[in-house]
Amino acid sequence: MTFVSYAPQGQFKPSAHYDPDLPETDDKPVLAVAAFLIPTVIWLEVNAVGRIFAPELLLIGLFPFLLLTRGALLANPLPRTFLILAFMWLMSQILTDLIRDTPFRDFSRGWSKIIFTSINFSAIYMLVYGSRKRITMFALGIIVGGYLSFLINPSDFASRQPWKFGLGIPTIMLVLLLTQWRPIFKVFSLPTLLILAVGVYSMVAGSRSMAGIAILTALYVFVQQVLGRKRTSPAGFSPVRTFMFFAGGIMIATTMLNTYQFAASNGMLGELAQETYARQSAGSFGILLGGRSEIFVSSQAVMDSPIIGHGSWAKNREYVSRIYELERYGYDITYFASEEGLIPTHSHLMSGWVESGLMGAIFWFWLLVLIFRVMSNLYMVREPLSPLVTFVGFLMLWDILFSPFGAARRVTLPFNVVMMMFVWEVLRSSVPKEMLGGVRHRVRRPQNGHPQGAPNRAPDGMPPNGFQQNGFPQNGHPSQQNSQQQPPAVQGNRQLPPGVRPGPRGTAPRPGRRPQR
């Protein structure tokens, strides 16, 4: 368990990587075993109303049991919002299909995609939420399932590009889990070097997006470790810091793009990468439109029907023919639709908007906001899951904007969302609300008159490090400064006299005044 604590003078600082004095609760072995085994069979699928994967059937089977024993977890604000938006997305999809008179074969797959995603999310949330061990076990199961999928049931693309479409994601996730191991994490810059190495290899193996995401993850983890060594953390995101955050991200992305362009154009990344780069960058609008030419068509489909959408598995030959208009701008278009007349989208966001209308887009926009909130605050703490969460955050940003949704992502994306929600609740439980960026907090007034801006307990049921059982930090939260009553300071299991503040863990209490703002 790792939570942040408060310095004696009220200055925020990251805590140690691991705190053995705060064991996780509700850590039932059967749940951990289930969390590992379920995703390991992701290679097994059946064809019934589209492709249904074995983990989805297992999650559906466990759903009633989890609902009876842990169903109250779904009443938390974040999962409740997710399910409400998913339901509205489904209703919009049904209405759109009725208006568009979508054939049964198409609307059955469109509706089941949303339903399975919602059930998978609910079951995974109830199964792993509140335990870093179960989250790690589920991630390890995804790694094993990814390797088994490549060996037993590889896709058609995996034979041509095995790293990009088979081995890349499981291997990177395995490296990320290794960086969470304390002997590696405590060595300064070692996690960064390991993640950077696998990112560079991804670039050589011809996976540009995977390489970029891994390199960004390495840089993020490095910044986080630098702040951890200083034992201080900057204040929350002000407008200036937000601008600097985006400006720095743009500079890093530009540098990475220029490096890739130089290496690919000179054949340093292999013949396939050189040919791909030459074909995609030959047009007037650069490599982005050349690499994701579907944006040109899906944006037009959205503008033609932004509210209602075009229906599940929307087909329209007119939109398909428009993609070849890019040849006039110098692009070599080799697009082939997987189904005849299927409107090209190649994006979670654009696919939901094109097929379901506005509510399909709102669902994905909300997830983008959640990811941004976590990523813009995670750097302030030394969370054990940080390397994995950072990679997953960048990966989700890319997939929502530039990758199709469906198939095995109906299992992996809900898990990634649950992990984001868990870390966000840890941040809210640990970081003073004044330091959290991009979030509005509602302060509730209980009967004793004390404002409460943070939950009394962490997601796993234990009080955050540096907090008493009543939810207030031992060294004085800023929210207590104007309160008439002050909770007594506690050192270990005994109450301290007035005017004496607790010392660091394992040391004697120290006299002195409480920290003032």
Q: How many CB atoms lie within 10 A of CB 118?
A: 19
Q: Residue 346: phi, psi to the nearest 5?
A: 55, 45
Rounded mean pLDDT of the chain? 76
Residue 229: what pLDDT? 59
Mean pLDDT, rounded, for 481-503: 50
CB 385, CB 180: distance < 8 Å: yes
Residue 334: what pLDDT? 61
Residue 13 has pLDDT above 90, yes or no: no
Domain boundaries of the chain, sorted by first residue: 5-430
CB 349, CB 365: distance < 8 Å: yes
Task: For the chain, give the longest Cα–Cα distance.
Answer: 80
Mean pLDDT, rounded, for 198-205: 87
Instruction: Please state, in angstroms and as integers, the Cα–Cα distance from residue 113 to each residue in 44, 50, 52, 180, 491, following that order.
Output: 17, 9, 10, 33, 52
pLDDT in tens, 240-285: 666 676 677 677 767 776 777 777 777 777 676 667 666 666 655 5
pLDDT in tens, 287-330: 666 566 777 788 888 999 999 999 999 888 888 877 777 766 66
pTM across the whole model: 0.76
Q: 371-384: string of b/e by CB count within 10 Å (b at 16+)? A: bebbbbbbbbbbbb
Residue 3: what pLDDT? 36
CB 128, CB 35: distance < 8 Å: yes
pLDDT in tens, 399-438: 999 888 988 999 999 999 999 999 998 888 776 665 665 4
Mean pLDDT, rounded, for 212-241: 71
- What token pair was written down for 252? 């890093």
- Spatial neighbors of 458 by CB under 8 A, at least 6 apart, are 3, 425, 426, 429, 430, 464
- What token pair was written down for 6? 């408060």
Instruction: Please state, in angstroms and as integers, the Cα–Cα distance from residue 167 to each residue in 69, 125, 181, 202, 507, following that order.
Output: 36, 26, 22, 10, 48
For the chain, how far is it from start to end, CA to CA, in angstroms? 29
Mean pLDDT, rounded, for 46-64: 91
Tell me which DSSP letter residue 490 carries.
E
Mean pLDDT, rounded, for 431-457: 46
- What token pair was written down for 147? 């390797």
More confident residue, 161 or 434: 161
Please tell me whether residue 244 adopts helix, strand or coil conformation.
Answer: helix
- Spatial neighbors of 115 by CB under 8 A, at least 6 apart, are 90
Mean pLDDT, rounded, for 491-516: 49
More confident residue, 205 or 4: 205
Percent of the chain with pLDDT over 90: 38
> Would you say how long the chain is, in residues?
517
